Structure 1
């Protein structure tokens, strides 16, 4: 909860709107109920449906195949980045989240998406 509050607060100071879900299943519900989502920050360690399974489920939906997903995890062990990317994440950042690193990563993955490739593309 503290991480969500800190990251949300930081992103909101940059004028971003942040939607939150307590687990992967609810996250998919939030995604489906809100058109125009530009990016997902995916916590790897969530109850019910972890970030890897949730990322794979989002990627399985054709309309979200290219939606940027950044995995956020406290796991910084060798192989964790690869596991996140293998599940479909666009990139990966570790906790505690460094604001500059997160913003740089967000800018990079949003730029890679290309013009006209929003959530509905």
Structure 2
């Protein structure tokens, strides 16, 4: 297993150390929001699902770009998408481009997640339709912070 993949789950699960009361003020932007995780790695899905559910989010999962597009058609309530870039079939770039072709999703926040952080990746992700970009291994506090920026308070 590549090191970058094995580091994702442990990094996401360190939020257990959080002090009581800390999450109450911080997660209002996340509570009761629906997140669609698009990733082909079950370990990443498990870790993200566990951490985001703990924040009070409804979590939907797709394992490739085709499933992601289907899920968006079925679930208009999706508030934000976490998009893995390297997936078989339809990668994250093409999936984001297809999402952006639909006017209904013009303002849908999409956070690109990539393990291959190379020069130009951020710009390529933003050019394909990502709202923001985070490289793996993920730091949960960084991901939550970025998600709070893009999710409007109601």
TM-score normalised per structure 2: 0.71
Structure with the larger strand share: 2
RMSD of aligned residue pairs (Cα, Å): 1.2
Q: Which runs of 5+ in 1 are unaligned?
A: 116-121
Structure label with greater radius of gyration: 2
Task: State the distance in 1 between where 2:112 and 2:82 align.
Answer: 6
Q: How many equivalent pairs are there?
A: 113
For residues 83-108 of structure 1, give each alpha carbon's deviation from its aligned partner in whole angstroms, at most 9, with x where no partner exists: 10000100001111110100010011
Please show how residues 37-116 of structure 1 align to structure 2 within 5 Å: 37-111=78-152
Q: Which runs of 5+ in 2 are unaligned?
A: 1-41
Stretches of 4+ aligned residues off by more than 2 angstroms: none
TM-score normalised per structure 1: 0.89
Shift of 1:22: 1.2
Does residue 9 in structure 1 map to residue 33 in structure 2?
Answer: no
